[in-house]
Structure formats: structure tokens, C-alpha cells
Amino acid sequence: MTTIVEHPPFQAPAPAAVLQRAAAALTEHGFTVEVLDDVAAARIRVADLIPPGASVFTGASETLRLSGIEADVNAGRRYHAIKPRIQTMDRAHEMDDIRRLMSTPDFILGSVHAVTETGSLLIASGSGSQLPGFAGGAAHAIWIVGAQKVVPDLPAALSRIEQYCLPLETERAMRVYGYPSAISRLLILNREPYPGCNTVLLLRQAIGF
């Protein structure tokens, strides 16, 4: 079993002043940012932001799972949910179609592993399958981010991913898949060149890892 190293600074919700600094920096960099109280508010806001009938892909995220947002999208009929569809497709013969569906939906939902007070978002991935949509393939991206993910700068963000997130994700992967996770690919979003396309819902509550 993987040994989880405790990192209290990476677990504790950031104070209000830190959240506001991060929100201001992200806004200056072109992201749309909303600071919300908790996951209940985030669920309501996600429903407001995504119109009925939109194609929606939910990236792998403990935040989405724990908040109920993943089930809101994939178990309901309000949207054209991509994940349930691709789970029924033949990976031996339809992989090109699967990649296109995941990479270019109307909306992609997920979280990040770190957000810096200087206005950057970092997302690590073992397979890389959700990164094309977050990098600009999707028409719109929405990230739901717990307050514990805010760190001062890029070095601290990388430390959070390597020292805190990876052991937790490896433990989850071993339980679910039987093999460890890895930081195979890392996406750093420093600026949004098309304002209005991507939204960060920054919570005052800690959720996910």
C-alpha cells in the first residue's frame, strides 16, 4: 500500500485574502472567476452556465465525483453527456471518434491540482486524455476548485502535485485499476486568450485533492 505523506499546508483551505488574490490574478489573465461558498453553490452555478442539450465531457476528478456534479451531468438527460457514450464504444475500432468526442465538446468540466496566487492553473494527468479539451479543444471549460488548492507560485504548485496529489491519486488508482498513477503530462494555463470561454469556480470550501 502507498504511504501517504501528510502535508497540512496543501490540505488547509486558503484564507479569504489569499482566495481573493488568486481570483484577481486569474481575472487579470483573462479567466472568468467566481468565488463561491461551497459545492452546493457550485452545482447550482454549473447548471446555470451549461445550457440544456450541450455536449459535456467530465474529466476525471474527485472534486466532480464528491460534489455530485459528475452524476448531475452523466446520470441525467439534460445534456449530451460524452462519458457514458464513450464507455459503450469499441476502443479497438472507434478510438479516433472517442478522442474527438473527449477533446472537442461544447463544455468540459473538471478541477485542477493547483492554482497559484499569481494566476496560473495546473493540471496533471496520467493518460493525458482530458488535457486537449482543457487546453482549448473544448468550446468552454469550467473548473471547480477547492480552497486548499491555492498556493503562492509555480514551484509551490509543482510541489503540491508531486508530494501531495500524486500519492493520493496513486492510492486511488491502485484501488480502482490495480496499478499506480504517474505525472505523465502536465498542463499549465497561464493566460486565457479568449476571455469568456473558461470559468474558474473557486470555492471557500476544501474538496478533492
What average pLDDT does this structure show over 181-191? 96
Segments forming the whole domain that contains residue 172: 8-203
- Give the model's pLDDT for residue 7: 58
- Does residue 170 lie in a domain region? yes
Mean pLDDT over 36-45 rounds to 97
Average pLDDT score over the chain: 94
Give the ranges where 29-159 is alpha helix by DSSP (H): 39-49, 62-67, 69-74, 82-86, 95-103, 131-132, 154-159
Establish if 119 belongs to a structural domain.
Answer: yes
Determine, yes or no, domain membership for 28. yes
Instruction: State the pLDDT at residue 4.
Output: 45
Q: Output the pTM of the full model.
A: 0.93
Kind plus residue range of the DSSP H or E element containing 17: helix 16-28
User: Which pLDDT band holds residue 1 (cuts at 50, 70, 90)?
Assistant: very low
* pLDDT for residue 176: 87
Q: Return the closest-CA partner of residue 159 out of 208, 113, 207.
A: 113
Contact indicator for 117, 204 with CB cutoff of 8 Å: no
Interval 169-189 mean pLDDT: 93
- Domain count along the chain: 1
**Can you tell me the mean pLDDT for 40-46?**
98
Percent of the chain clearing pLDDT 70 (strictly above):
96
Whether residue 3 lies inside any domain: the answer is: no
Is 54 contained in some domain?
yes
User: Which of 152, 150, 200, 198 has the alpha carbon at shortest distance from 36?
Assistant: 200
**8 pLDDT above the threshold of 90:** no
The yes-or-no verdict on residue 162 having pLDDT over 80 is yes
Identify the pLDDT of residue 9: 75
Q: How confident is the model at residue 66 (pLDDT cuts 50, 70, 90)?
A: very high
In this prediction, residues 47-71 reach a mean pLDDT of 96
In a domain, 190, yes or no: yes
Is 71 contained in some domain?
yes
Position 85 pLDDT exceeds 60: yes
In CATH, what number is assigned to the domain containing residue 102? 3.40.50.10420
> For residue 1, is it within any domain?
no
Mean pLDDT, to the nearest integer, of 104-110?
98
Q: What is the rounded distance in angstroms from the CA atom of residue 95 to the CA atom of residue 35? A: 38
Average pLDDT value for residue range 41-61: 97
pLDDT of residue 73: 97
